[in-house]
């Protein structure tokens, strides 16, 4: 069992100065029974060490960006080189062109891109651009998909199959929430019904093409095709939020991924795409882009305004270039896939052995674990899982030096730094955790 007196003390101190002691609510342990989160001090490869010197195998990967592990030498060198030349100019740089080219060649639906500072900004701006282009106000989103914390997308489903939104947060006017329609993921009938009712006012249908925010959930075969066809028949744009998915499963995005299922995810292209996370190599970044005539709505060419003091800063761009270069090496994604497959098999076997009901959704190098005995294909099914079991599992794993996200909805992310020994250690730890959980009933 790990002792964490310094984390406890730092948490008390943090609470005095930082709201909730954390700079993002997902870092708090509120969803897993509360108490002090672990304060990390150092990361190297697949591991990080907390303030008390305990080591953890990291499957959080900072909620996705750290796909190369911590302190990747090429990324670190790129950041240092950038810093030596000054971290921000407020002028364009050649690096931005190089990076835009790299991203465009991996994701051809992006005729033009713009770099911003976070996934939230990227998504928020795609909505503005879609509204500017279509002259319409409403958007349709899917229950349980997370698109950042801007007003429009922080709206949850009410009851019923397709509903006008109710704010998911205080401080969001009903007038804004009422511009958002939420429908269940993987449910074309509900989408059709929403478009029948509100279609003429819908600027865009926004979707995570592969969901990463209520576990890892694939679109059912035909769902994205149907979504795109339905949106277009009503004159609405399609926005893919690929903040989690881009460069996660292969060198490209979900929209360029041939081979996960038939019809291929690459059979259709969105009009606009939001990016973030991995493309910054661990530094703050976001990006959005899409069809030329739509992107030309953006200032200085067009009437839709979007700007950023920090946007395209040389440190983030340099880290991003180095990260994508490392990911472009042959075999990288197959190895992530193989490691995750081994982890999935080991977890499933350990759960069976101890009579623990566990559904594992794995997509290449990302997987999610759901304490339930049914499949998880939409948000209702993801909610209808045992959160207390997850909390127990999370803590038992943490005590054995395995770090997961403190939420039953989050994925485990494989990094290029994980080894087979790490996976074996993790499976053993899970076996011990399941054994404790099954003994507790
Ligand atoms: N979209 C998706 C799909 C995300 O998962 C997230 C963050 N988890 C965001 C947008 C927001 O990105 P950021 O936290 O960088 O603002």
**Burial of 233 per CB tally in 10 Å (0-12, 13-18, 19+):** exposed
Q: Is the CB of 36 under 6 A from ligand 1?
A: no
Please tell me the predicted confidence (pLDDT) of residue 261: 78
Q: Is the CB of 118 under 6 A from ligand 1?
A: yes
Average pLDDT of span 73-92: 97
The tokens of 316 are what? 């983030």
Please tell me the predicted confidence (pLDDT) of residue 260: 74
Tens digit of each residue's pLDDT (9 = 90 or more) over 135-157: 999 999 999 999 999 998 888 75
Please tell me the predicted confidence (pLDDT) of residue 2: 81
Residues 6+ apart with CB under 8 A from 91: none
Higher pLDDT, residue 166 or 238:
238
213 within 8 A of 149, measured Cβ to Cβ = no
Q: Is the CB of 213 under 6 A from ligand 1?
A: yes
Q: Is the CB of 208 under 6 A from ligand 1?
A: yes
Q: Which residues are catalytic?
A: 146, 241, 277
Please tell me the predicted confidence (pLDDT) of residue 441: 74
Please tell me the predicted confidence (pLDDT) of residue 158: 52
Q: Is the CB of 123 under 6 A from ligand 1?
A: yes
With tokens 């790129």, the residue in question is: 78
Query: Given its phi and psi angles, is residue 418 left (phi above 0), alpha (psi -120 to 50 degrees) or beta?
Result: beta
- Residue 314's pLDDT band, with cuts at 50, 70 and 90, is very high
- Residue 267's pLDDT band, with cuts at 50, 70 and 90, is confident
What's the CA-to-centroid distance between 411 and ligand 1, angstroms? 13
Q: Which of 61, 148, 151, 287 to mutate to test the pocket of ligand 1 (most atoms within 8 A of CB)?
A: 148
Q: Is the CB of 214 under 6 A from ligand 1?
A: no
- Residue 1's pLDDT band, with cuts at 50, 70 and 90, is low
What secondary structure, in 3-state letters, does the chain show? CCCCHHHHHHHHHHHHHCHHHCCCHHHCCHHHCCCCCCCEEEEEECEEEECCCCEEEECCHHHCCCCCCECCHHHHHHHHHHHHCCCCCCCCCHHHHHHHHHHHHHCCCCCEEEEECCHHHHHHHHHHHHHHHHCCCEEEEECCCCCCCCHHHCEECCCCCCEECEECCCCCCHHHHCCEEEECCCCHHHHHHHHHHHHHHEEEEEECCCECCCCCECCCCCHHHHHHHHHHHCCCEEEEECCCCCCCCCCCCHHHCCCCCCCCHHHCCCCEEEEEHHHHCCCCCEEEEECHHHHCCECCCCCECCCCCCCCCHHHHHHHHHHHHHHCCCCHHHHHHHHHHHHHHHHHHHHHHCCCCCEEEEECCEEEEECCCCCCCCHHHHHCCCHHHHHHHHHHHHHCCEECCCCCCCCEECCCCCCHHHHHHHHHHHHHHHHHHHHCC
Please, what are the domains in the chain? 5-71+331-439 (3.90.1150.10), 73-327 (3.40.640.10)
- Residue 27's pLDDT band, with cuts at 50, 70 and 90, is very high
The mean predicted confidence, pLDDT, of the chain is: 95
- Residue 70's pLDDT band, with cuts at 50, 70 and 90, is very high
- The protein residue whose alpha carbon is closest to atom 1 in ligand 1 is 147
- Residue 106's pLDDT band, with cuts at 50, 70 and 90, is very high
What's the CA-to-centroid distance between 310 and ligand 1, angstroms? 18
Q: Which residues pair with 290 in a beta bridge?
A: 112, 272
Q: Locate the ligand 1 atom nearest the alpha carbon of residue 148 and give its number.
A: 11
Q: Which residues pair with 412 in a beta bridge?
A: 367
What's the CA-to-centroid distance between 49 and ligand 1, angstroms? 25
Q: How far is CA 163 from CA 95, 143, 166, 320, in A?
A: 44, 10, 9, 39
What's the CA-to-centroid distance between 3 and ligand 1, angstroms? 32
Q: Minimum mean pLDDT among 98-102, 161-165, 225-229: which range? A: 161-165
Average pLDDT of span 383-394: 96
């Amino acid at each position: 069992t790990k002792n964490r007196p310094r984390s406890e003390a730092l948490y008390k101190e943090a609470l005095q100065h930082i709201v909730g002691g954390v700079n993002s609510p997902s870092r708090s342990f509120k969803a897993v029974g509360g108490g002090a989160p672990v304060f990390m001090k150092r990361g190297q490869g697949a591991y990080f060490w907390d303030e008390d010197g305990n080591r953890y195998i990291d499957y959080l990967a900072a909620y996705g960006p750290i796909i190369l592990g911590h302190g990747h030498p090429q990324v670190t060198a790129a950041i240092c080189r950038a810093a030596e030349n000054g971290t921000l100019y407020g002028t364009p740089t050649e690096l931005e062109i190089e990076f835009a080219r790299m991203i465009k060649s991996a994701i051809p639906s992006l005729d033009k891109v713009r770099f911003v500072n976070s996934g939230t900004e990227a998504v928020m701006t795609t909505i503005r651009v879609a509204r500017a282009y279509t002259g319409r106000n409403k958007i349709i989103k899917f229950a349980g998909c997370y698109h950042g914390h801007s007003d429009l997308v922080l709206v949850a489903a009410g009851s019923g199959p397709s509903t006008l939104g109710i704010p998911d947060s205080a401080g969001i006017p009903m007038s804004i929430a009422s511009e958002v329609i939420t429908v269940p993921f993987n449910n074309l009938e509900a989408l059709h019904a929403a478009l029948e009712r509100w279609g003429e006012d819908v600027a865009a249908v926004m979707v995570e093409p592969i969901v990463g925010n209520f576990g890892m959930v694939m679109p059912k075969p035909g769902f994205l095709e149907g979504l795109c066809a339905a949106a277009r028949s009503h004159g609405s744009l399609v926005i893919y939020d690929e903040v989690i998915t881009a460069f996660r499963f292969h060198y490209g995005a979900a929209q360029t991924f041939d081979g996960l299922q038939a019809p291929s995810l690459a059979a259709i292209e969105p009009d606009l795409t939001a990016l973030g996370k991995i493309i910054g190599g661990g530094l703050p970044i976001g990006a959005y882009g899409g069809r030329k005539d739509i992107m030309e709505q953006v200032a200085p060419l067009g009437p839709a305004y979007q700007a950023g003091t920090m946007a395209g800063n040389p440190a983030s761009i340099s880290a991003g270039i180095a990260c994508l270069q490392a990911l472009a090496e042959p075999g990288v994604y197959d190895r992530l896939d193989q490691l995750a497959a081994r982890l999935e098999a080991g977890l499933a076997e350990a759960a069976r052995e101890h009579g623990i009901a566990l559904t594992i959704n794995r997509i290449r190098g990302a997987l999610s674990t759901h304490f339930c005995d049914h499949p998880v294909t939409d948000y209702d099914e993801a909610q209808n899982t045992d959160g207390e079991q997850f909390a127990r599992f999370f803590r038992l794993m943490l005590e054995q030096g395995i770090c997961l996200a403190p939420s039953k909805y989050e994925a485990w992310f494989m990094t290029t730094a994980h080894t087979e020994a790490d996976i074996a250690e993790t499976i053993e730890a899970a076996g011990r955790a399941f054994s404790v959980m099954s003994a507790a009933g």
